[in-house]
């Protein structure tokens, strides 16, 4: 006689050390195998979009910081570009260069958190400490520039709040020199670690057609083997002036689009970001960073969708103006929000122990999922 | 790579009356207005036609147009009566690199729009968000529940322009 079996519902979160924030996953299990997963989000919902409608355009900038708090520079960058597009203004070249430098530093800092905490999820404590040590140097660079370590309010519509401090370029060059060997160290410590590979290779495979249909972007899309980077494919700011590669996943340790690929793309991207910063530091022109900041922002009636390649993927701002000083509608298409939507597909057929590995590899920030 | 005008002609030839108009006299982004009850067929065509191949939905966002009349309700609050709620779709083809903006509108009193979540699964959560925050009812959606607000939120749809904060939520004072 066959044994009677029954599916079981298991709640993971909202308070769970490996969910990287307040997220509840409702897992449907058959034994230890996952047959369905329902993410429940909204625990950090702060009505960002409603707030925007009561603010003037420049007042929104500090709010955008608080969405993806690990990549605040890039949130501001995206918002500033969207409003500038709506206004039809050009910013001085020096501003563009500084934005790119800051953005790429932010990408490295954000990837360091992603990589460090991913190791932590899998059970490797040391890389986390190494990553945070290096990230600290980037944060103090930011702190010296604009006074804040995480929530900067630095990139404004039409310009920047401050110019670079006089010693910035030297310190940035020092950092590049310091950081290059650290990537190698990280590879020895984590990337090629047998235990790490066993936990991540061939786990959480994301096929490319599914990824595109689900709107997956950024490192997660590239890990599935698609060369797509908005910095190259739909260039904004001055990104078309730099020479850099777009790394894609090729299944080195397992299958294309598995957790290891998604992890390793981030390691490779840090190297590319260093290349961009190096070139930008060489080419940066002189100029005034506040000259193009409009006194009064009052765009004509219309709407715009503008997107940037945030460390996590495509960050889009849909901004609509009704001709007044307040935005009529601001909608944020955040990469984390979109990536979480695929969890049901991605988790099916894997074991509970893999949930942590898969969730960590897509690198979400709940502050931006919930907004 | 096709321009919005060319795509408009192709759609007009295939769908006729369902394609309402091309709005080109706006700064930055032109868009095509489409009947809200035919949007899924149009989108499926846009995705699968070999010359268009809009395989990626970049963004879907609901908007309260607030173009109705402002009237006072029984308890003295200002509410908007009549007018429309709209949805903007931003599409992109990763092969041909062209982009397109579509817009659909529905009556505020009966905001029914056909879901496109079976065309792009990406639309699933964005439609849930538009339902949650604006109360747009997406027909044929597989799982239309609130997403950001609590499941038992009864005070309406926060992103509507005439939304008023409730005094109490589950017996707790708001704001506490």
Signed CA dihedral, A270, A275, A281, A284: sign only: negative
Q: Give B45-87 pLDDT, tens digit per residue.
A: 888 888 888 888 889 999 988 887 888 777 777 778 788 899 9
Cβ distance A341 to B122 less than 8 Å, yes or no, reads yes
Q: Give A17-59 pLDDT, tens digit per residue.
A: 777 778 888 999 888 899 989 999 888 888 888 888 888 999 9
Chain B residue closest in CA terms to A82: B28
Q: Give A286-324 pLDDT, tens digit per residue.
A: 888 888 888 888 888 888 998 999 999 899 999 988 888
Q: Is the Cβ of B29 closer than 8 Å to some Cβ of chain A? A: yes
Q: Is the Cβ of A14 closer than 8 Å to some Cβ of chain B? A: no
> Over 80: is that where the pLDDT of B133 sits?
yes
Candidates B24, B30, B43, B61, partner chain A, best to mutate (most A CBs within 10 A):
B61
Strand partners, A28: A9, A36
Helix, strand and coil in chain B, % to nearest 5? 20, 30, 50
Task: Give residue B160's pLDDT.
Answer: 86
Task: Give residue B131's pLDDT.
Answer: 92
Task: Tell me the pairing of strands B137-139 and A155-156.
Answer: unpaired
Chain A nearest-CA distance from B100, in A, is: 11
Report which of A37, A29, A34 is spatially closest to residue A8, judged by C-alpha positions: A29
Task: Give residue A129's pLDDT.
Answer: 92
Cβ distance B121 to A214 less than 8 Å, yes or no, reads yes
d(CA A324, CA A359): 42
Task: Give residue B49's pLDDT.
Answer: 86
A contacts of B134 (beta carbons < 8 Å): none
Q: Is the Cβ of B1 closer than 8 Å to some Cβ of chain A? A: no
Task: Give residue A107's pLDDT.
Answer: 92
Structure tokens given for A336: 């984390």
Average pLDDT score over residue span A181-193: 88
Structure tokens given for A100: 């790119």
> Over 80: is that where the pLDDT of A69 sits?
yes
Task: Give residue A1's pLDDT.
Answer: 66
Q: Give A78-111 pLDDT, tens digit per residue.
A: 999 999 988 888 899 999 999 999 999 999 999 9
Residues 6+ apart with CB under 8 A from B176: none
Task: Give residue A318's pLDDT.
Answer: 92
CB B159 within 8 A of CB A49: yes
Cβ distance A333 to B58 less than 8 Å, yes or no, reads yes
Other C-beta atoms within 10 Å of A345: how many?
A: 16
CB B161 within 8 A of CB B80: yes
Chain B nearest-CA distance from A119, in A, is: 29
Report which of A13, A44, A8 is spatially closest to residue A355, judged by C-alpha positions: A13
Q: Is the Cβ of B155 closer than 8 Å to some Cβ of chain A? A: no
Candidates A303, A328, A366, partner chain B, best to mutate (most B CBs within 10 A):
A303
d(CA B19, CA B38): 9
Cβ distance A302 to B56 less than 8 Å, yes or no, reads no
Cβ distance B121 to A301 less than 8 Å, yes or no, reads no
What is the value of pTM for the model shown?
0.89
In the block, tokens 């603010």 appear at A55
Q: Is the Cβ of B160 closer than 8 Å to some Cβ of chain A? A: no
């Amino acid at each position: 006689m066959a044994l009677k079996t029954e599916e079981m519902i298991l709640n993971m979160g909202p308070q769970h050390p490996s969910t990287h924030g307040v997220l509840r996953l409702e897992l449907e299990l058959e034994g230890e195998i996952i047959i369905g997963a329902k993410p429940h989000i909204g625990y950090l919902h702060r009505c960002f979009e409603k707030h925007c409608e009561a603010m003037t355009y420049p007042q929104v900038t500090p709010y955008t910081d608080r969405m993806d708090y690990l990549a605040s520079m890039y949130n501001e960058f995206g918002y500033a570009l969207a409003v500038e597009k709506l206004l039809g203004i050009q910013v001085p070249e020096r501003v563009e260069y500084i934005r790119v430098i800051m953005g790429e530093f932010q990408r490295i800092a954000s990837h360091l958190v992603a990589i460090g905490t991913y190791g932590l999820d899998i059970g490797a404590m040391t890389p986390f400490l190494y990553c945070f040590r290096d990230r600290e140097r980037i944060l103090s660079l930011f702190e010296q520039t604009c006074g804040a370590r995480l929530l900067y309010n630095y990139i404004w519509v039409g310009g920047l709040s401050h110019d670079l401090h006089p010693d910035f370029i030297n310190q940035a060059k020092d950092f590049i020199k310091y950081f290059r060997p650290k990537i190698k160290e990280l590879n020895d410590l984590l990337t090629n670690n047998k235990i790490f590979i066993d936990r991540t290779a061939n786990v959480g495979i994301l096929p490319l057609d599914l990824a595109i249909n689900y709107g997956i972007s950024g490192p997660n899309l590239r890990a599935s083997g698609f060369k797509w980077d908005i910095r190259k494919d739909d260039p904004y700011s001055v990104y078309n002036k730099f020479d850099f590669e777009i790394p894609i996943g090729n299944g080195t340790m397992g299958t294309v689009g598995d957790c290891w690929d998604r992890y390793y793309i981030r390691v490779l991207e840090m190297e590319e970001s260093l290349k961009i910063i190096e070139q930008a530091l060489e080419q940066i022109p002189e100029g005034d960073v506040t000259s193009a900041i409009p006194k009064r922002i009052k765009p004509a009636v219309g709407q715009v969708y503008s997107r940037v390649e945030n460390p996590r993927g495509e960050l889009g701002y849909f901004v609509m103006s009704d001709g007044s000083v307040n935005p009529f509608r601001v909608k944020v298409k955040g990469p984390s929000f979109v990536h979480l939507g695929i969890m049901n597909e991605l988790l099916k057929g894997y074991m509970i122990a893999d949930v942590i590995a898969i969730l960590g590899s897509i690198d979400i920030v709940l502050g931006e999922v919930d907004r | 790579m096709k321009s919005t005008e060319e795509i408009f002609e192709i759609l007009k030839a295939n769908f006729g009356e369902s394609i309402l108009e091309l709005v080109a006299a706006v700064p930055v982004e032109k868009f095509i207005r489409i009947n809200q009850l035919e949007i899924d067929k149009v989108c499926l065509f846009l995705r699968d036609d070999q010359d268009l191949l809009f395989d990626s939905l970049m963004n879907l966002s609901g908007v309260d147009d607030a173009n109705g009349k402002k009237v006072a309700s029984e308890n003295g609050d200002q509410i908007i009566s009549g007018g429309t709620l709209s949805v903007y779709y931003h599409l992109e083809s990763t092969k041909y690199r062209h982009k397109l903006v579509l817009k659909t509108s529905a009556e505020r009193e009966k905001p029914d729009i056909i879901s496109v979540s079976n065309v792009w699964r990406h639309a699933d959560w964005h439609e849930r968000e538009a339902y949650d925050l604006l109360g747009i009812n997406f027909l044929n959606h597989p799982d239309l529940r609130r997403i950001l607000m609590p499941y038992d939120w009864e005070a309406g749809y926060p992103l509507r322009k005439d939304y008023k904060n409730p005094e109490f939520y589950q017996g707790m004072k708001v704001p506490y």
